[in-house]
Amino acid sequence: MFGHRKKHDVDSYSITGVLRPVEVPEEQQPVIRARQLQTVGRLTPIVGLANVINAAVVVMSFWNTPAARLLGIWSVTLLAATAVMLGANIASRNKHKKRDPRTPPSVIGTQKGIERYARFSSLLGMIWGVLPLLVMPFTDYNSQMTVSIIMAGMMFGGVILISRIPEAALSFLIPITIGYIVGLQLWQDPRNDYLSVLALVYAGVLWVTTKWSHRQFIEQHLSGLAIQQQAQLIGLLLRDFEESTSDWLWQTDANGTLVDIPMPTLGEKGSSFQAMAKGGDIGSLFLPTDTKNTLMRCLERKQGFRDLVLNVDNEDGAWWSLTGKPIYDTVGRFIGFRGVASDITQSKAIEDRIAYMAHYDPLTGLPNRACLHEQLEKIALTPVEEGNERALLWLDLDNFKWVNDTLGHPAGDELLCQVASRLNEHIGSAEIIARLGGDEFAILVEMHGRDALLDCIQNLSDRLNEPYEIWGSIVHCGASIGVRIVEQHSMDIDTLLKHADLALYQAKESGKRTWCVFTPELAEKAKARRGIELDLHRALENEELTLYFQPQMCAHTGRIVGCETLIRWNHPSRGLIGPNNFIQHAEDSGIITRLGDWALREALFAARRLPDDMGISVNISPLQIHSSSLVTTIVNALAVNQIDPSRLELEITESVLMSDTEFTLDRLNQLKDIGVRIALDDFGTGFSSLNYLRRFPFDKLKIDKSFVEDIDHNDDSRAITQATLELARALNMTCTAEGVETESQKQFLTEIGCDELQGFMISRPQPLEKLSHLFPVLTQQEADEALATKRASGDADTSVIQLQDAANRRHRRMG
């Protein structure tokens, strides 16, 4: 395109370029011809007038010469030709007026028009060309000069007037030039030779000029056409843009006043468009915001701007996106701004909603974890004010899961909302109160002095531990709080949160419903805990775990009726470790299910070495109840070792029943269906125990050793023990007392009718081999032989299929 253009430019300025015809697209040829005819047609009266005036001058100049008679004939001929020409012109004008302006000019019509004009021109040219032949022979040199002037004038005037049609100009020029030169040559004056040459030069100049002007005319026409087509295209595009989007164009003058857009008229639609109607000040359309300030700055500095999101000052509270740039006139003067606007109210609302959801908890309306992080990062940059103390609190509800499970999720939600409002009421001055998810919250507070800060935390803890009222029921749900005092303003946020979490863990460890401040020792402890977790995995692989057995004695007969299995860890470097040092970690890390399965298999394997009428008790942790492997493990271990299910007793604590009660009860019933016995361990240390006792038929109650310990010197403990015993009897359960260490304890318990006793007084937990003085213990080999005999004799009635069937019956109901 560029190359083409260049060639074109060069052509226009060289003689050869001027003479070469311009290429005109075929469909444009009649249009151009029509315009040529139109222009020349308008000039025709002048041409006619010029002819008449010139003819009059000639006749008057040479009336007294011998040529007068011939001149008479000549002028009549000229006038007649002129009259015919004018007549034809008037006729064609009338025809043109009647024509529908929208119909395109005809190819043949225009062609004929041009030809006709050329014929007329050549006729006139010939008439004028005859003049020198008539006049020159009868006049003197001076008069010949007059003829020359008239001829030159005719040549120039005529050609210029009809130059729009080069064919006509040429048809006129040729005969008139020939006539003039021949006329000059008829009179044998050497001076006339010069004039003849001059006439030829004139003719040449006129011819080139005509061609050049014609070329310019065609080029102008074509470029005008291109511009027109472009404008049409832009118009179409703009219309399409207006109709298909919610965008519109705007323009201001140099003062920022909205003006009409100089564009093909676009459909005016929507109130947004109306709001930008001309006359208004663009700045006054929007409510004051930071972005509006940016807009005003750009307008003032004559800078372009892009996608500014502005709040429109109208009752709908619309939002527009505005893009604009300064515009300048041809001489570079600033004349205003022009740009596009679009109504983004809807998408902005959606965007705002998404942003809100990404940063706020929909239930409580508090900032969420992501928001907390962002804000902490901001606040971490501002130093704590002199004398102030800042602390990050991590808060966790103690019984939330229980509320959710027993009262339902809507109640749980209600509880969370109440907690949120207590937090807001109590420390509304906090810099951040966020909900981290579930029943966890985080708070950043700043107080004047450490004492004020700790007082505030204590008060908050007290307030949160007060009972809640949810739809008429009183709910006790305390909170544990981990506190991290923020010392340096530039502390890493992740570390801060981790420390607060460790302090929270400590608060839970110290019995919940309390708060705890982070100390470096907590981090050390946590590290040790993590070490234990890793070690436990290894311990299971390396068979470092072992079971100890503690006998349970019938209080009436003194016979050993069963054993409780208690896990021990034979640590390669730390020696024998008791379960209190690792069971909690195993539960926290989830490895407890593997560990518990191992304990069950190991206990039932050992049970083979005990007399058939002796029971074996295994401790089950809350997480194990939810494990899908529990039932399968028990069924398989019972079958493999041919142990009668009634010999196996599972010891669970009340905490098992606190979470997801329905599921737990179903699972326990499923185990009972197999024939396994269930004992409630550590009875009296949990809470609301009676409720559970009614809902699930335990086989045994184990009175916690803390009561037994106090029997000798605490009346209350004796009363509680006795009451528990009566309760067990009323509910048809056996009762075992744990931690029996003294003769007097044994005596009291036997007297009040306790069924079984367990404690150091009878025996400490020991490896099985070391208990053979209390009951017969088979060697492994003897046990294996006994099992083989049992299988051979067909006595073996504990099959996997049978047990699984029993378990499945319940399972189907659970499903």
Q: Which is nearer to ligand C2E, 584 or 661 (CB)?
A: 584
Residue 659 is a binding residue for Ca ion (CB under 5 A):
no
739 Cβ partners below 8 Å, 6+ apart? 704, 705, 706, 708, 709, 758, 759, 760
Contacts 24+ apart (CB under 8 A), 401-409: 401/439, 401/658, 401/659, 401/660, 402/477, 402/658, 402/659, 403/470, 403/475, 403/477, 405/658, 405/659, 405/660, 405/661, 405/662, 406/661, 407/470, 407/473, 407/475
Give the amino acid at 353. Answer: R
Return the number of the residue (599 or 771) whose C-beta is nearest ligand C2E.
599
For the chain, helix, strand, coil in percent to 5 are 60, 15, 25
Kindly tell me which residue out of 621, 627, 641, 659 binds ligand C2E, with binding defined by CB under 6 A: 621
Q: How far is the CB of 556 from Ca ion (least distance, A)?
A: 22
- Residue 166 in contact with residue 210, Cβ under 8 Å? yes
Which does residue 798 bind out of ligand C2E, Ca ion, none, counting CB within 5 to 8 angstroms by kind?
none
Query: Any contact of residue 699 with Ca ion (CB under 5 A)?
Result: no
- Is residue 567 part of the contact set for ligand C2E (CB under 6 A)? yes
For ligand C2E, give the closer residue by CB, 250 or 549.
Answer: 549
Of 160 and 761, CB closest to ligand C2E = 761
Which one among 596, 615, 645, 684 touches ligand C2E, defined by CB under 6 A?
A: 596
Please work out, in degrees rounded to the nearest 5, the angle formed at the alpha carbon of residue 630 by the alpha carbons of 627 and 633. Answer: 140
Q: Of 619, 642, 659, 724, which lies in the binding site for Ca ion, with binding defined by CB under 5 A?
A: 619
Nearer to Ca ion, 405 or 738 (CB): 738
E-strand stretches of 534-636: 545-554, 560-571, 575-577, 615-619
Which residues are within 8 A (CB) of 641 and not within 5 positions of it... i.e. 6 or more apart? 604, 605, 607, 608, 787
Does 533 interact with ligand C2E (rule: CB under 6 A)? no
Extended strands (E) in 600-676: 615-619, 648-652
Position 705 contacts ligand C2E (CB under 6 A) = yes
Interacting stretch for Ca ion, rule CB under 5 A, among 39-47, 316-324, 616-624, 748-756?
616-624
Smaller CB separation from ligand C2E, 584 or 808: 584
Query: How far lies 556's CA from each of 190, 751, 754, in Å?
Result: 171, 10, 9
Instruction: Report if residue 578 touches ligand C2E, rule: CB under 6 A.
Output: yes
- Residues 6 or more apart from 550 whose CB is under 8 A from it? 563, 564, 566, 758, 763, 764, 765, 766
672 binds, among Ca ion, ligand C2E, none (CB under 5 to 8 A by kind): none
The least CB distance from residue 627 to Ca ion, in Å, is 19
496 to each of 18, 163, 381, 451, 499, how far by Cα in Å?
Answer: 86, 93, 14, 21, 5
d(C-alpha 592, C-alpha 595), whole Å: 5
The minimum distance between CB 760 and ligand C2E, in angstroms, equals 4
Interaction between residue 336 and ligand C2E (CB under 6 A): no
Establish if 681 lies at the interface with Ca ion (CB under 5 A): yes
- 597 binds ligand C2E, rule: CB under 6 A: no
DSSP letters for 58-86:
HHHHTTTSTTHHHHHHHHHHHHHHHHHHH
Choice from 313, 431, 682, 710 touching ligand C2E (CB under 6 A) = 682
The yes or no reply on residue 396 touching Ca ion (CB under 5 A) is no
Min. distance of Cβ 717 from ligand C2E in angstroms?
Answer: 15
The yes or no reply on residue 684 touching ligand C2E (CB under 6 A) is no
The site string for ligand C2E over 748-767 (x = CB under 6 A, - otherwise) reads: -----------xx----x--
For ligand C2E, the closer CB: 502 or 676? 676
Assess 30 for contact with ligand C2E (CB under 6 A): no
Nearer to ligand C2E, 75 or 565 (CB): 565
Nearest approach in angstroms of CB 570 to ligand C2E is 14
Examine residue 798 and tell whether it contacts ligand C2E (CB under 6 A): no
Q: CB under 5 to 8 A by kind: which of ligand C2E, Ca ion, none does 760 bind?
A: ligand C2E
Q: Does 583 bind ligand C2E (CB under 6 A)?
A: yes
Is residue 713 helix, strand or coil?
A: coil
Cβ nearer to ligand C2E, comparing 103 with 580:
580
Minimum CB–partner distance for residue 484 and ligand C2E (Å): 32
Of 75, 550, 721, 736, the one binding ligand C2E (CB under 6 A) is 550
Say how far apart CA 251 and CA 276 lie, in whole Å: 9
Residue labelled with tokens 């100890």: 548
Residue 577 contacts ligand C2E per CB under 6 A: no
Instruction: Looking at residues 648 to 677 of the shown chain, list those that interact with ligand C2E (rule: CB under 6 A).
Output: 651
Q: How many CB atoms lie within 10 A of CB 162?
A: 28
Q: How far is CA 580 from CA 273, 567, 585, 587, in A?
A: 76, 10, 9, 12
Contact 369, 434 (CB under 8 A): yes
Q: Angle of helix 369-380 relative to helix 345-359, nearest 10 degrees?
A: 80
For residue 742 the two structure tokens come to 């003294």
We find the least distance from the C-beta atom of residue 745 to ligand C2E, in angstroms, to be 9
Q: Which residues are CB-contacts of 172 (< 8 A; sequence separation ≥ 6)? A: 121, 122, 124, 125, 158, 159, 162
If one asks whether residue 682 binds Ca ion (CB under 5 A), the answer comes out as: yes
C-alpha angle 805-810-811 in degrees, rounded to nearest 5: 85
Kindly state the smallest distance separating residue 438's Cβ from ligand C2E, in Å: 25
Does residue 686 belong to the site contacting ligand C2E (CB under 6 A)? no
Q: Does 552 bind ligand C2E (CB under 6 A)?
A: no
- Residues forming the site for Ca ion (CB under 5 A): 619, 651, 681-682, 738
- Residues forming the site for ligand C2E (CB under 6 A): 550, 566-567, 578-580, 583, 596, 599, 619-621, 651, 681-682, 705, 738-741, 759-760, 765
